[in-house]
A and B are shown apart, each in its own frame.
Chain A
């Protein structure tokens, strides 16, 4: 039996997974081959040393610290450095930058504002603020249409309202 084959059989030998014949062949080889015998002995010592290593345990506050990290996860938005942002987000920013550039460019190319018809402001409404130019903007008012006493949000056309009247949440409950 060749040395390499004997060495390759070490684990199977110690696990008693070899046939009686192969086992005998290995033992005969070991009796005659000192280098292989030494390697087997070293392997025995090594495996025993590895088995003897005492396991370590997590610290007593392991779970507590983990749960604290988890609760932070649940409350804080994930903030990634720019280089870790997913590709899809980067491409989203690139698209947004492209759109912004296109808008700037179209401003240069467009005729003077005085020749264009007035456009509506697209800014979002803010509670308590009036937006006199936005006369065509729809607004949400609270209205109880079911008589159940619960409010429901309904879309109204602002044109039906006085444009000078401050925007307010209207509860039409009787």
Chain B
């Protein structure tokens, strides 16, 4: 049985559309942690991220017949999760309740920036998770998504290309631009505390 292919996400959603609820549970088990890590980097609050992931699966459950196999299931579910996370961020901005202590992580003190860079000094930055989280949230949407998928979730370019439904070349160039932008933001954070 070594040649047996694992069941794909698309086969699972097809089974679920045909009424097999256990296929839905399998999809939940496959995606819940991946989506949690993805959404958490957007919203910065663990409980809120988990609620958003729950809402994502509820949407998948309710709208299962809206899925057509023209796109990968992963593209569909990440899009739902990303949209919910963005809408949560928009809601916070509208209600002006957005502050660092509510987001979590930011209540830690940052290490003082290393400013002792002599002519031959080797740059050796260490980043606290809180700094990273703060910089990620300041990234434009498309850069934030790609940084999370590539550098935190460490997905392959091919997987990212499938999830975002964009060509591999675009993924690579966007990863580079996102990294440069993130590096600028981190540098700014280091310099300004």
Contacts and interface: CB of A to CB of B under 8 A. Distances in A.
Given A53-B129, A66-B54, A70-B58, A41 B179 contact: no
Nearest to A46: B183
B152 interface: yes
Contact of B62 (A15, A62, A63, A73): A73
Contact of B126 (A9, A45, A50): A45
A82 B182 CA distance: 42
Interface string B152-173: 1110000000000000000011
Interface stretch (B3-11, B28-36, B68-76, B90-98): B28-36
B123 interface: yes
B50 A12 contact: no
A115 B181 CA distance: 83
B73 to A, nearest CB: 17
Contact of A42 (B33, B119, B147, B187): B187
B179 A11 contact: yes
A58 B32 contact: yes
Nearest to B41: A53
B40 interface: yes
Given A51-B154, A62-B32, A73-B61, A43 B172 contact: no
A85 interface: no
A8 B186 contact: no
Contacts of B182: 46
30 contacts: A10-B179, A11-B179, A12-B172, A15-B172, A39-B180, A41-B122, A43-B180, A43-B183, A46-B132, A46-B183, A46-B186, A47-B179, A49-B125, A49-B126, A49-B127, A50-B147, A53-B132, A55-B153, A56-B33, A56-B37, A57-B33, A58-B36, A58-B50, A59-B50, A63-B25, A63-B29, A66-B28, A66-B58, A69-B54, A73-B58
A46 B125 contact: yes
Given A55-B37, A58-B32, A70-B61, A45 B50 contact: no
Contacts, number: 96
Contacts of B57: 66
Contact of A58 (B25, B33, B132, B180): B33
Contacts of A56: 33, 36-37, 40, 46
Interface string A61-77: 01101100110010000
Contact of B54 (A9, A42, A62): A62
A50 B152 contact: yes
Interface string A101-127: 000000000000000000000000000
A139 interface: no
Nearest to B58: A69
Interface string A1-43: 0000001111110010100000000000000001000110111
Contacts of A55: 33, 37, 153
A56 B44 CA distance: 12
B176 interface: yes
Nearest to B153: A55
